[in-house]
Amino acid sequence: MLSESARMASAHEARFRVAYPNSVPRSIKVVALDEPSRRLVDEVSRLPWNKASFFTSMSFEGATPRADDSSIKAWLSDIAGHTKDLIAEIDEANFVVMVASAGEDAQGASVIGEACLARNVTTIGLVVQSPETSEADLSRTLSHMRPFAKMLVIASGQDYVEVMLTALRA
């Protein structure tokens, strides 16, 4: 006679798994940290998503505030260019994806990352590199991202942003 495990692991039994939606979409905030990433995020934002919203950090457009600076309340802009309240966006996020291009200045990661840390919101860092990226360029970007990203991905293709967000049901 088959054991319980043997019977339950069969293809026959797989047909009886309960069919229902076992999760609801998570709120995912995707933030571009530099100009090349902004173009990439802009493109990805045009695809249909469940509950993902897309922003650009204002760090590369102006001064970098400190995490306790009141100006961080208006420190994101959405794809249409409207200023958004960073804290409010993070407060409603399940996790935040920060997108940077290797070699670009990813200083915005510290403000966003610290705000996420303070609110215990998971951050994923995604660094897109090209074959021309030097080690020094990558190091500079990593040094901004590492302290704040729970998971860091260094991808060689721009398509990974869409792939990852799809896999995460964004």
Partner 1 sequence: MLRKEQNDLLTQTGPETAMGKLFRSYWMPALLAEELPSNDCPPVRVKLLSERLLAVRDSDGRYGLIDEFCAHRGVSLWFGRNEQCGIRCPYHGWKYDVTGQCVDVPSEPEESGYAKKIKLKSYPLIKIGDVLWTYMGPADNEPPHPEWEFALVPPEQTFTSKRLQESNWLQAMEGGIDSSHVSFLHSGSLNTDPLFKGSKGNQYNLNDKKPVFEVVEQPGGLYIGARRNAEEGKYYWRITPWVMPSFTLVPPRGDHPIHGHFWIPIDDENCWAWSFDYHPVRALTGDERQAMIDGKGIHVRYVPGTYRPLANKDNDYLMDRDAQRAGTTYSGVEGIAMQDASLQESMGPICDRTKENLVSTDNGIIMARHRLMKAARALAEKGVTPPGVDPEHQRVRSAAVVLPPDQPYKEAAKEALRVRPGVAQASV
In order, the DSSP letters of 78-109 are: ETTS-EE-HHHHHHT-SEEEEEEETTS--THH
Residue of 51, 46, 56, 48 whose CA lies nearest to 27: 51
In the list 93, 106, 111, 142, the residue contacting partner 1 (rule: CB under 8 A) is 142
**Closest separation in Å from C-beta 78 to partner 1:** 23
66, 57 contact by CB (below 8 A) = no
- Is residue 23 part of the contact set for partner 1 (CB under 8 A)? yes
The residue length of the chain stands at 170
Quote the CA–CA distance of 57 and 52 in Å, as a whole number.
Answer: 16
In the list 69, 151, 158, 161, the residue contacting partner 1 (rule: CB under 8 A) is 151
Cα of first residue to Cα of last residue in the chain, in angstroms, is 45
Residue 80, SS3 per DSSP: coil
Choices 33-41, 68-76, 109-117, 159-167 (CB under 8 A): range interacting with partner 1: 159-167
Q: State the DSSP code for 112.
A: H
Q: Which is nearer to partner 1, 40 or 58 (CB)?
A: 40
- Is residue 2 part of the contact set for partner 1 (CB under 8 A)? yes
In the list 46, 48, 131, 135, the residue contacting partner 1 (rule: CB under 8 A) is 135
Q: What character string, x for contact with partner 1 (CB under 8 A) and - otherwise, covers 30-69?
A: ----------------------------------------
**Closest separation in Å from C-beta 71 to partner 1:** 28
Residues 6+ apart with CB under 8 A from 151: 122, 124, 125
- Is residue 153 part of the contact set for partner 1 (CB under 8 A)? yes
52, 28 contact by CB (below 8 A) = yes
Per CB under 8 A, residues contacting partner 1 are 2-6, 8-11, 13-14, 17, 22-23, 95, 122, 124, 135, 138-139, 142-143, 146, 149-156, 159-160, 163-164, 166-169
